[in-house]
Chains A and B, each alone.
Chain A
Amino acid sequence: MIGVAIFTFAIAHIIPGDPAAIQCGDKCGLIVDYTEDGEPITAYESNRIRLKMDDPVGVQFWRYVTDLAEGDWGDSLLYHRPVVDVIKDAAPITLEMSFLALFIAYPLGIILGIISAVRQDRMFDHVSRFFAIAFVSLPIFWFAMMLQLYLATGTEHGGICDPIFGTEGGCFPIYGRHDPSYTYPEDGFYSFYPAGGTGFHLVDSWFVTDEKLATMPEEWNSNWLLFKDTLVHLALPCAALGIASAGSLLRYMRASLLEVLNEDYVRTARAKGLSEFRVVVVHACRNALVPIVTILGFSIGGAIGGAVLTETVFAFNGMGRVAVTSLQYLDFVVIMGVTLITSVIFLLSNLIVDITYAIIDPRVRLE
């Protein structure tokens, strides 16, 4: 944790761009103030003073760390809001998407992996392995765009959703988090969700009060409809994000299960005359799943990284978008915040994975 803090700080300081200069742009030479003895202060200098950039590195770092600890992550130069707020808005969007993606990918990958291992070297195995590796090789952003093209546009654009889902409205939404028809022209969709909600709209949609619902247009005037709307909008991004994880999981699961199936106790179970199904599902899978759990931590990190790309394609204002925009404007405070928060999430998920691991695997016990 401390390491990450140092690291983000170091990155922001090694970066050669000068935020003070970027902020004032071409007006850096303007004199905005005078010191007590009448020396002129340019805009550039005042920026430097305001950002306290002339202090020694060590002092700056100490200030940064103490501020962090107090929950003050600085103010974004770009959004003109505290970084904490920016992240508070953005993080749930990314997390909702990543979790849902993994939620789909894990069962899918594991089940296919089991089938693949049980039918080792048969047709199903070959085909599913090929597709697994092919999906791992797909560029996420491209795959996302292909999904948009085929599942979110009609035949006039080369999509296929018309014949499958019927005409009008049969397609998945092409981008965004909600249907624009109810987010505009009012004061934005956030107002419908209870303030201080989780930010996960899949959850929040169930807590929208009846009065609020009554003010909504007909298509959105129940919790279920709101939920459905969110879910439908999440479908394509999650598919894009989850497919690579599912592919690699299939491969891991297959390898792990094959290893377990060769162990003695599985042979014994077979010899006892247990049905093949029981042997595989009850005896082998439980043990084969143990190493899979450890991958979970890494796939969360991977999903958050991949979210940068899917968010760009599907126009979600999650952390990935925030990161990209703030990088373009060299808004270091936000970059540092985003990096920090992603690593916190990553470390937390790894911790959870470790605990899960201890629960699943009786050999490991928490000390």
Chain B
Amino acid sequence: MRSWDDGKEEREESLRRLRESLSQSRNDLSRSWKIYKRSLLAILGLMMVLSVSLIAIFADDIAVEHPYRNLQDTEDKWSIDYEPRRVEPFSEECDWHEQKIVTNPNSPLFSETVVAESDDKVGDDNRYYRDTLSAITIIKIEDSQGYDLNSSLLSIDPDNSSILVLSPDLYSNTSLYAGVWVTYEFDNEAMHHWWLPDGYDVCIFGTNDQGQDLFSKVLYGARVSLKIGITVAVLTVVIGTIVGSISGYFGGRVDEVIMRICDIFFAIPGLILAMAFVAAMNQVTSLTTPVWLAVLLPILVIGSYSNSFLSSTVPKHGQTDSHVMSKLVEYRWWILLLPALVFIFGWSPSNLFGWPEIFELSESKIWRLTAVVAIIALSGVVILADKRFINNSSFEGGMERLKDSFDWTNPWRYLTFRTLAVFISLALLFNFSGTEGGDIVIIKDFDRLWKVQAALIFTGWPGYARLIRGQVLYVKEMTFVEAARSVGAPSSRIMFRHILPNAWAPLLVAFTLDIGGTILSASGLSFIGLGAEPGTAEWGILISESRRYFLDSPWLMLYPGLAIAVTVLGFNLLGDGIRDVVDPKNRR
């Protein structure tokens, strides 16, 4: 048993290397910054992106109200009715409040006074509440036909500015039982922007038809858009990188199949595909994978992996020493094809050997977790066995190295890629596996925003796959990859240490540009009604909702659109700047 002190030397060594690589990356960064700084537009882009991000983060503090403040006439209270109004930007009328007062002789209790109440608000805990407003002046009074009435019919109670006093004239006027509308200015605590000087309490972007402050909605929209943009970009990059690097590295039939699939994606315009996909998912409430898929997929991947491995590296006269193994290898495709045929042509597997029952065994979390772990382990074993038999490589020392990676006397070790990957994948596994129901749940609340994201990921990955494949093919031909192979480095190391680190530069550019592109597509989807739920603080849906008032209230469309444009422009400029940085011509 090693003790803490035994690991001292290793610890120091790891630390030293860590520090070294940190200083290396710091040098790299400062050099990159120097190149980046040259372009004014790039700086502008960075600033735009930064400010949009800051807005998204601090939307709570900057906004004047919660974006989902519900201002509908939720309940027709006996005397107070509220009519939301669209108000122009910078209009004084933001502070105006319109109330319907029904002079109903059957409710003598409230007959002479009316409380100035704010409309419903949603608090941070999502509960509705009402404030009592204090009225400042009465602007006008209208009857139900819209004719002005004498403003002396109502007055503000001098003792309590929250109470409006009805004059006896009004009260006794039975022809006004249909109600009068009173507009008064109130002391709007809610519309007070801390970042505007006193006395400027205006809604700077106006309000929408629901009377909601557009400025707040646009602010919160930044949150939604950035979230969509970044999630989609990250996930497409991950998926695209995995698929593309498999395709590029192994070549052969796998490459062929993957590239054909990508071609299909490229043949259909992205937006139409995304639309179809969103519509397709409209019934889905949570994103799950059926267990059979989770089982079949890894098997398929392993199958094709080892197959192309076989066809690419091993000479014709195979030297697999085990007869059974070689037969297995030979007929692998047929073995895989069989269940596929069963699945496609009619026979449900259940009438063959009770396939579904096997999976229904298990509703418990533990079972599911075990199943997932078992599948992974099985895949690992198959890969290793494949390697052993086909590639004739031994894995002596592999166990030691694995143990070494988790050496408790040297915590710094855990910062290496391999161990981090293990930890992360364990965490993900635990997170995704084992929920109630028959399937593996990936996303629980699969709302419409998630659907948009899923659709954009679905349509986006082939682009990255192709990009990465090209890069991998390019880097793969470089001598240092062959050098690594000539010293016996395994495929995984070649991929992760040699090829990918030298292939990501164009990926970074594409990633940045893609965040902008995704924001555009997502808002486009929302615009045609396939994205965010109506009423959401999302830029696309804001524009779409504004179409009805397009001629009367163009500001409703102007500001969300500007927000999209600025954000996307920011990311595009940023991407351009990064392109200059990673361009080998500008390096050195």
Contacts and interface: CB of A to CB of B under 8 A. Distances in A.
B543 A145 contact: yes
Contacts of A304: 269, 272
Contacts of B276: 11, 323, 327, 335, 339
Contacts of A323: 272, 275-276
Contact of A148 (B272, B528, B550): B550
Interface in B554-579: 554, 557-558, 560-561, 564-565, 568-569, 572-573, 576
A307 to B, nearest CB: 9
A146 B559 CA distance: 11
A339 B268 contact: yes
Contact of B264 (A4, A58, A140): A4
Interface in A122-148: 126, 129-130, 133-134, 136-143, 145-146, 148
Interface in B516-559: 516, 520, 523-524, 527-530, 540, 543, 547, 550-552, 554, 557-558
A143 B473 CA distance: 40
Contact of B268 (A324, A330, A346): A346
B543 A338 contact: no
B260 interface: yes
Contacts of A134: 565, 569
A327 B282 CA distance: 10
Interface string A42-84: 0000000000000011110000000000000000000000000
Interface string A1-22: 0011011000100111100000
B280 A14 contact: yes
A92 interface: no
Contacts, number: 149
A58 B346 contact: yes
Report which residue of B270, B279, B573 has the largest number of chain A beta carbons within 10 angstroms of its beta carbon. Answer: B279
What range describes how many residues of A lie at the interface? Answer: 35 or more
A302 B269 CA distance: 6
A328 B279 contact: yes
Report which residue of A17, A143, A327 has the largest number of chain B beta carbons within 10 angstroms of its beta carbon. Answer: A327
A45 to B, nearest CB: 19
A158 to B, nearest CB: 5
B129 interface: no
Nearest to A303: B269
A222 interface: no
A330 B524 CA distance: 20
Contact of B564 (A136, A142, A324, A346): A142
Contacts of A17: 280, 282-283
Nearest to B520: A139
A305 B528 CA distance: 12
Given A139-B520, A142-B543, A305 B569 contact: no
A306 B520 CA distance: 11
Contacts of A312: 527-528
B65 to A, nearest CB: 24
Interface string A325-367: 0011010000100110011001100000000000000000000
B279 A130 contact: no
A149 interface: yes
A338 B554 contact: no
Report which residue of B516, B551, B576 has the largest number of chain A beta carbons within 10 angstroms of its beta carbon. Answer: B551
B280 A3 contact: no
B524 A309 contact: yes
A150 to B, nearest CB: 9
Interface in B260-316: 260-261, 263-264, 266-273, 275-284
Interface in A82-141: 126, 129-130, 133-134, 136-141
A347 B569 contact: no
B62 interface: no
A146 B546 CA distance: 12
B234 interface: no
Nearest to B576: A133
Report which residue of A14, A139, A146, A308 has the largest number of chain B beta carbons within 10 angstroms of its beta carbon. Answer: A139
B517 to A, nearest CB: 9
Given A14-B280, A342-B268, A346-B269, 15 more contacts: A7-B268, A11-B276, A16-B284, A17-B280, A56-B346, A133-B572, A133-B576, A137-B572, A139-B540, A145-B550, A148-B550, A157-B554, A304-B269, A320-B272, A324-B530
The 7 closest A-B pairs by CB, nearest first: A56-B346, A142-B561, A305-B269, A15-B280, A305-B271, A137-B568, A137-B569
24 contacts: A4-B268, A11-B277, A11-B280, A59-B345, A133-B41, A137-B572, A138-B564, A138-B565, A143-B561, A145-B550, A146-B561, A149-B554, A149-B557, A157-B551, A157-B552, A304-B269, A304-B272, A305-B269, A327-B279, A335-B279, A339-B276, A343-B267, A346-B268, A346-B269
